[in-house]
Structure 1
Amino acid sequence: MKPLYVMMHRWAATPFVWGESDCCLCLADWYNHVHGKDPAAHLRGQYCDALSCQRLCGWFSDPVTVIENCLETVGGRPLIDAPALGDVGVILIRSKDDDRPLPAGAIWLGDCWGCKGPTGATTINAQATRSLAVWGIGYEG
């Protein structure tokens, strides 16, 4: 099985825990798997819920900057217009309980976005969401 799909299976089997295995830190896990460096080491274990995440890094008000700042800790990655397999992005999704779109970190799977959420891992049709930013990761899957 390709590493990208192994990662998605890991996301599906891992509980969603703020500050440990949330959508942002799962992207950092993916980057670490591909490049051997953790871009979010400074965030791990520093928050425990959505409110403390927002207070610490501003995820809900400026998620693009959060990912950009994480990537800067490992030398940065280019913003791109169209994702390739394994690239990461910030997308907007609608939760079941709230009609407001919320930011989520996601990986491009080739024909849809893969995302870590409270119920495991999910895929989201590109036409059903809007991407705020996409970074080229350099995955050679």
Structure 2
Amino acid sequence: MTLKEWLEKPSHRFRWGGQGGDDCLMFCASWVEHVTGSDPVADFRGTYGTEEEAHAIVEQRGGMVALVSEMAIRAGFERTDSPEDGDIGIIIAPAGLGGSLKEIGAIKFGPLWAVIGPAGVRAKKAECIAAWRVPQ
């Protein structure tokens, strides 16, 4: 299954904690699991169920970039300054009804970044602040 086919799956839905759906970081991890056969965040799946609990885990690990870096290194991924289709990253993009800028986990998709939110999977232009090569 190609990245485009995976992103278009109607089963994607937003849910905190990666049980019955994905939040932004679990969305990236689900893609990684699809590509590699191994879930890099299996120890986190189902351990939280709210935005507040998700933020607490991210803060305990030193922020989104530090958390994803830890999981990516453990999975054998390398950081890249030139993300390609299928690579994962942390972007800065508008989120929520107010449109405030936030760090969001995303998957590189052509010139865009694919993200998941309450409205489903979307692709948007965004500034990437960190990216990791996903072996495919």
Q: Could you say which TM-score interval applies, normalised by the shorter chain?
A: 0.7 to 0.9
The unaligned stretches of length 5 or more in structure 2 are none
Contact 2:13–2:116 (CA under 8 A) maintained in structure 1: no
Does residue 80 in structure 1 map to residue 77 in structure 2?
no
Give the Cα–Cα distance (whole angstroms) in 1 for the partners of residues 29 and 99 of structure 2.
28
Contact 1:27–1:88, Cα closer than 8 Å, also in 2: yes
Matches within 5 A, 1:82-97: 82-97=82-97
Counterpart CA distance in 1 for 2:4 and 2:59 is 29
Paired residues of 1:24 and 1:104 also in contact (CA < 8 A): yes
TM-score scaled by length of structure 2:
0.87
Q: In structure 2, how many angstroms separate the alpha carbons of the residues matched to 1:95 and 1:9?
A: 21
Contact kept in structure 2, 1:13 and 1:120, CA below 8 Å:
no
The residue number in structure 1 matching 2:58 is: 57
Q: What do the CA deviations read for 1:26-79 (whole angstroms, capped 9, x no partner)?
A: 1111111111110010110111111011112329x71111211222332x3111
Output the CA distance in 2 between the equivalents of 1:33 and 1:100. Answer: 31
Gaps of 5+ in 1: none
One-letter amino acid matched to 2:2: P
Could you tell me which residue of structure 1 aligns to residue 129 of structure 2?
132
Please report how far the alpha carbon of residue 84 of structure 1 lies from its aligned counterpart in structure 2 after TM superposition. 1.1
Identity of aligned residues (%): 27
Q: What is the alpha-carbon distance in structure 1 between the residues aligned to residue 107 and residue 120 of structure 2?
A: 14
Aligned pairs, number: 132
Q: State whether residues 86 and 108 of structure 1, in contact with CA within 8 Å, keep that contact through their aligned partners in structure 2.
A: yes
